[in-house]
Structure 1
Amino acid sequence: MASFAVACRMSARLAARKVQQDAATRGFRTSAAALAAQNFTMPALSPTMTEGNIAAWRVKEGDKFSAGDVLLEIETDKATMDVEAQEDGILMKVMQADGSKGVQVGTRIAVIAEEGDDIASLQIPAEENSPAAQSAQTPSPQSPPGELQSAAPSAPAAAPTPAPGAKTFKQTYPLYPSVAQLIKQHGIDKAAVSSITPTGPGGRLLKGDVLAFLGKINAATPSTISARFNKASHLDLSNIKVAAQKPAPKQAKPAPPPPPPAPAKSLVSLPVSLVAVIEAQAKIQKTLGIFLPLSTFVARAADVANDALPLPAGYQPTADELFNQVLGLDKVGAAPAGSRGAYVPQIAALPPAGAVVVGPKKAAKKVDILDVLAAAPRKPAAVKKTAVVPGASAAGPNLFSLRVPKAEERRAQVFLERVKVVLENEPGRLVL
């Protein structure tokens, strides 16, 4: 919209200048007030615009306006644009009302006057493109010799011709439509076109190049614009410096993961009597003269009880067992119903009922200096006693216990029951 607004202002400004020039070329008038009223024509809002529609007037007849005020809205086949006033003035007469369609560019659409003029005393000038205006500009044989006639329209200037030996350029065809139309309007031949310096992308000829060749604009303008666009299209990296690489921040060592919680364990216990074991011990010592401690009987009983224990809950077969299952060897013959254990029972003596007596503590014996200086009394020879398992009792029952995971409770219970059977019923088989 910004580009359309700029084009609108330029077209309106050019139209105002053209009105002043035409007024000067038509001749002198006897009324000075008539010069204040000017025709306001349909502006060209784009280079390709030939006609437009008047959507609405923003200023009414007789109203004053200032430079920059929107006079009317014009519709084209592309957009709707506002026409702004270039100078202060008064809208004297509207010639093309709201909704007018197909108004040609250059056709009078209103009459404006200068600020401070009395529009009631002003004359409406004739339309420039009307038949009356054209006939007035044509010399008439009946005109008085002394009357000043309007000047004949000047012929368009001839297109410049290239100088001999001038540098030629190979133009890229087809030309842009705006360039081809401009060349056709000014009658530029192909030889002259070859002498125009192209500044467009890819060496193409632009409209500005032709205008500079015709002298309509400054000759250095196309090259200046082309240089600016070429500079903007390339990224200048000469002033860019590579930043120094920052050291990576030191990361704290992650804390070691906490150890997995120990599986919960259960206490499995069973009372076992060692009376039969002591009898077998005495019988072996009497007949063979060999003393076997109770720890030997307990160790051999544990070894017998650890054989072929039931599998624990969630048991994972070994590689050999899986291989035998794949080959079907587990179904040939009697497969082991369990696995060997490695349990060692903990033994503690159970106190007999009523054996615990709580009484007054004995007073500590006072030590006399004479007892210290005197020789220590000679102790009688030690009587050899029957060796037992530490913590076990030969007279009363003993508590055999194991602390195992919950999944092995059944397995530990079977182990203790086997130990109990061997030690209480048949301890003699442990020494055979």
Structure 2
Amino acid sequence: MASFATACRLSARLASRRVAQDASVRGLRTSAASRAAQNFTMPALSPTMTEGNIATWKVKEGDEFAAGDVLLEIETDKASMDVEAQDDGIMMKIFAADGSKAVQVGTRIGVLAEPGDDISSLEIPADESKSAQQGAKKEEAPSQSGAPSEAAPQKKAADSSKRKTSGQKAPPQKYPLYPSVEHLVKEHKLDEAALSEITPTGPQGRLLKGDVLAYLGSITESRPADIKKRFDHNSHLDLSNIKIAAPAAPPKAQKAAAPEAPVPEDLLVVLPISLASVIETQKKIEASLGTFLPLSTFVARAAEVANDELPLPSNYKPSANELFNQVLGLDKVDPKVSRGLYIPQITAVPPTSFTGVAPKPKPSKVDIIDLLSGSPKKSAKPAAQSLGQPGISAGTNTFSLKVPKSEEKRAQVFLARLKTVLEQDPGRLVL
């Protein structure tokens, strides 16, 4: 409910209490007829609202209502809103029916009574909104003699006394005005001449609310200028207090970098293996079958046999199932093995390399016939003769593997198997 209606209701209550007190003192009786009804005017539901349309009344004449009940629905050009009752009361009379258009704010639209009042005996109060409008029109209208009324000059003089003008012409205003400025202009009925006297202090020469308030005398005249000065000062970056930093001190000698972890080098696993048994088998096959098998074939087949079921490297990471088998001890019953991919490097060495003592050469006897005839003596057959394979001889050969540290044991097992096959049972390689 509008604040004006609330104020009217409050004054009526105070008046009724005063009448009751006087009656009790004088010995008189009071009745419901002594109570007053209040006008209910069109409320302003927003600061910029000047008029509205009555969509529908939620109560009828004679209906009682409680605080918080919706009395009517008002429509504006922006929204549709409900008006709620602030106190309990009775809807005595409705003056603006449903569908009323362009009802000005402050115009009487109904009359309200207090709870328990006999509305049939109450008098409808005078329409104060019409009397106020008529009084305003009389003040504005000139008298019959053509001279303005006395109230109008007094009001204008009062308004002009509050305004602070510099007497100078201000730059033309930029439109549209800010909503707050436009509201003040309409509220105080400032015309173009008045706006031309106001000096704008806003960005890009725009008029601000503070400029209008200073013109009306609501704030000091210097307040807008002070605010503009502060904003102009803060809008520029002040570099006067910035000093150039001193050159940085030369960096201290960095500490010696920690030595990097050594990269593990590969190990060379070596094992001497004799090919005497392989040569004998080679001769037997050539004599019986007429087929010559080179030593490289025997070595390749022996490497295939030796690569089967080798132990795992020391850095092998077992799977979840293998870890579970280790907990149960099943890894010892059926140890995990894998096939290798080793290819040995073979180097032929003299037999003396492994005995440590070189045999003394036997003195050869000089035949006088050979010496006189000039025919050369046949040289003795070397103990280790080449078999047509580079790096392989009929004597002892060095088999080597270059492997990481974690595969040292695995490589040793491979070379041991290779030695067993080539020295003890090379015939199985032919089958």
Q: TM-score, normalised by structure 2?
A: 0.39
Which structure dedicates a bigger proportion of its chain to helix? 2
TM-score under structure 1 normalisation?
A: 0.39
- Structure possessing the higher radius of gyration over alpha carbons: 1
